[in-house]
């Protein structure tokens, strides 16, 4: 990317930016073998694709509709871009056997009084109860499209070294909230 005069973003190591004609920007988002290219002018995008395809084996999938579990919906007429992980969230619920659970309306219930486990006998078996895996799955959504999950993730994450039953119940509550709000998305105008 740097050979093509792209500069890596200081804010996200997967984002590269190139200035064209001293004013237009071309963005290239790269994660392992998935890539998105964005610019105001489609000819700039095509030029980058042509150049990169001469160096690398590439497959052009056309206009982006999904990447890394994030669904992309564009309304060019109204200038709206929506990013959603509804499909990903449904898979997460299924993975943790919570597809048929009741939904919750808040990310964390006010009745949870979380504290560190004092006695090892209060700890749950993390092999049978996948607390860390559930938190990681929710965290991916939080980082990508669901900032509303940040407080609850931060709260339950504090106790992952020695989780107890109340911590698992709080995580399940968070999953229940995701069920009721799985169709929320980030909207850019």
76 occurs within a structural domain = no
Domain hosting 32: range is: 2-62
pLDDT at 93 exceeding the cut of 90 = yes
100 occurs within a structural domain = yes
State how many domains the chain has. Answer: 2
Do residues 37 and 122 both lie within one domain? no
pLDDT band at 151 (very low <50, low <70, confident <90, very high): very high
How confident is the model at residue 26, as a pLDDT? 94
Nearest one of 40, 19, 38 to 28, comparing CA atoms: 38
Pairing relationship of beta strands 80-84 and 70-75 according to DSSP bridges:
antiparallel
pLDDT band at 186 (very low <50, low <70, confident <90, very high): very high
Instruction: Look at the alpha carbons of 126, 131, 137, 143 in this order and tell me if their dihedral is positive or negative.
Output: negative
How confident is the model at residue 160, as a pLDDT? 92
**Rounded average pLDDT over 88-95:** 93
How confident is the model at residue 115, as a pLDDT? 93
Do residues 111 and 179 both lie within one domain? yes
**Rounded average pLDDT over 145-171:** 94
Give per-residue pLDDT as tens, 63-87.
889 998 899 999 989 999 999 999 9
67 occurs within a structural domain = no
116 occurs within a structural domain = yes
pLDDT at 55 exceeding the cut of 90 = no
pTM of the predicted model as reported, rounded to 2 decimal places: 0.80
pLDDT band at 20 (very low <50, low <70, confident <90, very high): confident
Measured between alpha carbons, how far is 181 from 183 in angstroms, rounded to an integer?
5
pLDDT > 70: percent of the chain: 100
Do residues 91 and 147 both lie within one domain? yes
Measured between alpha carbons, how far is 80 from 56 in angstroms, rounded to an integer?
32
């Amino acid at each position: 990317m740097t050979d093509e005069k792209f500069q890596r973003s200081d804010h996200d190591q997967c984002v590269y930016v190139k200035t064209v004609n001293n004013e237009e920007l071309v963005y290239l988002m790269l994660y392992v073998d998935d890539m998105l290219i964005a610019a105001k002018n489609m000819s700039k995008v095509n030029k980058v694709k042509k150049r990169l395809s001469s160096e690398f084996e590439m497959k052009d999938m056309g206009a982006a509709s999904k990447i890394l579990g994030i669904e992309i919906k564009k309304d060019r007429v109204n200038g709206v871009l929506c990013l959603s992980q509804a499909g990903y969230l449904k898979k997460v619920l299924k993975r943790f056997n919570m597809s048929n659970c009741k939904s919750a309306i808040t990310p964390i219930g006010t009745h949870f009084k979380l504290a560190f486990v004092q006695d090892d006998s209060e700890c749950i078996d993390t092999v049978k109860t996948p607390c860390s895996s559930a938190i990681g799955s929710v965290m991916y959504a939080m980082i990508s499209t669901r900032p509303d999950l940040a407080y609850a993730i931060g709260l339950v994450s504090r106790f992952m070294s020695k989780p107890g039953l109340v911590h698992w119940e709080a995580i399940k509550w968070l999953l229940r909230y995701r069920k009721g709000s799985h169709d929320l998305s980030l909207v850019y105008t």
